[in-house]
């Protein structure tokens, strides 16, 4: 009897063991097969990085294109050949200290440079490829634009209010340009209010790379509202202007000053007394002090009628704007226009210097009305061309939803 029980137990144990093996076998066959994904090649402006030794660095003071390539085993004759070949498109003498560059070098014992990539800024790059033939190209990273809003109540200055909200100072500068003839930004009052809709540019979706245009703005200055909307009134010229909520152009035919960042160091004064000589000598211009090299702008559209060096004026440019107005810009370091050139408002016509009779770097801005020199700061200068009546309704329809969005921005 005991033998029968033992035999039965062995049979049952064998059956259970076989079933367990089958179940395990079935589990293995049902499990998913793990497939390794192929390695994705990392690319930089079309170059597969695993094919090169990558060297990233910053140009140091005193370094040149030649010294950089020499350090990466490129012979001097080859460096000269590269520089001369690409010069029409990329002048290697213009490399600047502090800019970043990348070397793509051979992955062999020579580690010789094959590609040089220069980063002008976060968006623009120049690529010099000299593996076989020599060529260069300029590439741009993709930039996306998003609309942003900002608002605030002035407690000290517009710049401070925007800085507290971590908004670029470019926005404050652009607003001062838009409202140049409407609001004196040096005399903003406490509790003045503002709202603005502007473009913020990004690369890689998250890295900010600058401010675009201001789409719309609202200022409440001393209790009075001032709207500004970006609009192109003429599709042929494509020139953008800023108008208020009643179709009035915010720009004037003349800028208030020929420099963006400056201070008035000497005003137009017919009774100016020169201490050194002890006599009265009228000052018929307005002096704007600024560092040497600051760009000087034409304050209005016009034609250059003089561009030369003469005596106490030094380097100067004179522009006739129409039958009524003419302007002149003295003591330039260098002139950027010649007689006969047509210039637009804001074009750079030269740079601040100290040529002629001057005790410091500035531009003497002279202003003629009907061939008589006058004080531009006291002139009631004409507005820019008004919006044509036939497009006013189209404009008002265009700004309606933008104005609604602007009004809804909380302070």
Per-residue confidence (pLDDT) for residue 309, from 0 to 100? 97
Residue 317 has pLDDT above 60, yes or no: yes
Please, which pLDDT band fits residue 6 given cuts at 50, 70 and 90?
low
Per-residue confidence (pLDDT) for residue 188, from 0 to 100? 81
Please name each of the domains of the chain with its CATH number.
Answer: 48-140 (3.10.450.350), 143-243 (3.10.450.350), 263-378 (2.70.70.10)
Phi, psi torsion values for 11, nearest 5 degrees: -65, -45
Residue 19 has pLDDT above 90, yes or no: no
**pLDDT tens-digit readout, 38-58:** 555 678 888 998 999 999 999
| Cβ atoms 329, 343 nearer than 8 A | no
| Helix, coil or strand: residue 100 | strand
Please, which contacts does 243-250 make with residues 24 or more away whose CB atoms are closer than 8 Å?
243/387, 243/395, 245/399, 245/403, 247/386, 247/387, 247/392, 247/395, 247/396, 248/383, 248/386, 248/387, 249/383, 249/384, 249/385, 249/386, 249/387, 250/178, 250/179, 250/181, 250/182
| Helix, coil or strand: residue 22 | helix
Task: Give every CB contact of residue 400 below 8 A, 6+ residues apart in sequence.
Answer: none
Residue 34 has pLDDT above 80, yes or no: no
- The reported pTM is 0.64
Task: Give every CB contact of residue 85 below 8 A, 6+ residues apart in sequence.
Answer: 134, 135
Residue 143 has pLDDT above 90, yes or no: yes
β-sheet bridge partners, residue 365:
286, 329
Alpha carbons 361 and 345: distance in angstroms, whole number: 23
Alpha carbons 42 and 302: distance in angstroms, whole number: 53
Identify each DSSP E strand in 26-141 by its residue range.
Answer: 43-44, 47-48, 53-58, 100-105, 113-119, 124-129, 135-140
β-sheet bridge partners, residue 230:
242
Per-residue confidence (pLDDT) for residue 157, from 0 to 100? 84
Average pLDDT over residues 149-165: 89
Per-residue confidence (pLDDT) for residue 398, from 0 to 100? 97
Per-residue confidence (pLDDT) for residue 30, from 0 to 100? 54
Task: Give every CB contact of residue 335 below 8 A, 6+ residues apart in sequence.
Answer: 307, 308, 315, 316, 317, 349, 350
User: Number of helices and strands (H, E) in the chain?
Assistant: 6, 24
Alpha carbons 74 and 112: distance in angstroms, whole number: 6
Alpha carbons 94 and 65: distance in angstroms, whole number: 9
Residue 95 has pLDDT above 90, yes or no: yes
Among 31-45, 73-87, 140-154, 282-296, the range scoring the smallest mean pLDDT is 31-45
Of all residues in the chain, what percent carry a pLDDT higher than 70? 85
Per-residue confidence (pLDDT) for residue 52, from 0 to 100? 95
- Cα 236 to the chain's mean position, in Å? 25
Higher pLDDT among residues 286 and 283, named by residue:
286
Of all residues in the chain, what percent carry a pLDDT higher than 90? 59
Please, which pLDDT band fits residue 136 given cuts at 50, 70 and 90?
very high
Please classify residue 301 by burial: count the beta carbons closer than 10 Å to its beta carbon, then call 0-12 exposed, 13-18 middle and 19+ buried.
Answer: middle
Among 55-59, 104-108, 260-264, 393-397, the range scoring the smallest mean pLDDT is 260-264
Among 178-192, 266-280, 374-388, the range scoring the smallest mean pLDDT is 266-280
Please, which pLDDT band fits residue 2 given cuts at 50, 70 and 90?
very low
Alpha carbons 363 and 353: distance in angstroms, whole number: 7
| Helix, coil or strand: residue 378 | helix
**pLDDT tens-digit readout, 195-242:** 999 999 999 889 999 999 999 999 999 889 999 999 999 888 787 899
Average pLDDT over residues 61-77: 96
Two tokens at 306?
Answer: 């003089």
Please classify residue 294 by burial: count the beta carbons closer than 10 Å to its beta carbon, then call 0-12 exposed, 13-18 middle and 19+ buried.
Answer: buried
Please, which pLDDT band fits residue 377 given cuts at 50, 70 and 90?
confident
Among 28-37, 108-117, 227-236, the range scoring the smallest mean pLDDT is 28-37
Please, which pLDDT band fits residue 22 given cuts at 50, 70 and 90?
very low
Average pLDDT, the chain: 86
Question: Could you count the other beta carbons within 10 Å of the beta carbon of residue 139?
Answer: 12
Alpha carbons 166 and 33: distance in angstroms, whole number: 52
DSSP 269-282: BTT-EETTTTEE--
């Amino acid at each position: 009897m005991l033998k029968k029980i033992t035999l039965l137990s062995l049979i049952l144990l064998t059956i259970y063991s076989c079933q367990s093996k089958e179940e395990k076998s079935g589990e293995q066959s049902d499990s998913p097969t793990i497939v390794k994904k192929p390695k994705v090649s990392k690319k930089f402006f079309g170059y597969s990085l695993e094919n090169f030794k990558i060297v990233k660095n910053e140009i140091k003071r005193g370094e040149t294109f030649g010294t950089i390539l020499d350090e990466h085993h490129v012979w001097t004759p080859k460096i000269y050949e590269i520089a001369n070949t690409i010069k029409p498109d990329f002048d290697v003498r213009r490399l600047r200290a502090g800019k970043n560059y990348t070397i793509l070098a051979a992955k062999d014992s020579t580690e010789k440079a094959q590609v040089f990539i220069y980063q002008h800024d976060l968006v623009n790059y120049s690529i010099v490829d000299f593996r076989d033939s020599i060529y260069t190209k300029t590439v741009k990273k993709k930039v996306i634009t998003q609309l942003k809003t900002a608002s605030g109540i002035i407690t000290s200055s517009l710049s401070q209010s925007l800085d507290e909200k971590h908004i670029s100072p470019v926005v404050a500068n652009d607003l001062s340009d838009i409202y140049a003839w409407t609001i004196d930004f040096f005399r903003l009052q406490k509790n003045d209010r503002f709202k603005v809709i502007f473009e913020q540019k990004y690369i890689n979706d998250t890295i900010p790379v600058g401010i675009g245009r201001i789409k719309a703005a609202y200022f409440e200055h001393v209790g009075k509202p001032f709207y500004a909307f970006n609009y192109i009134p003429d599709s042929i010229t494509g020139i953008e202007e800023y108008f208020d909520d009643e179709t009035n152009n915010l720009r004037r035919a003349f800028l208030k000053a020929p420099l963006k960042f400056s201070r008035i160091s000497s005003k137009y004064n017919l009774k100016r007394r020169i201490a050194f000589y002890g006599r009265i000598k009228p000052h018929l211009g307005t002096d704007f002090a600024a560092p040497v090299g600051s760009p000087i702008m034409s304050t209005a559209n016009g034609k250059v009628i003089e561009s030369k060096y003469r005596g106490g004026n030094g380097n100067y440019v004179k522009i006739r704007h129409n039958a009524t107005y003419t302007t002149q810009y003295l003591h330039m370091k260098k002139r950027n226009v010649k007689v006969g050139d047509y210039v637009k408002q804001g074009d750079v016509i030269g740079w601040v210097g100290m040529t002629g009779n001057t005790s410091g770097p500035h531009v003497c801005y002279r202003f003629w009305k009907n061939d008589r020199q006058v004080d531009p700061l006291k002139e009631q200068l004409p507005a820019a061309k008004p919006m044509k009546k036939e497009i006013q309704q189209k404009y008002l329809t265009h700004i309606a939803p933008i104005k609604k969005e602007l009004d809804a921005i909380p302070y």
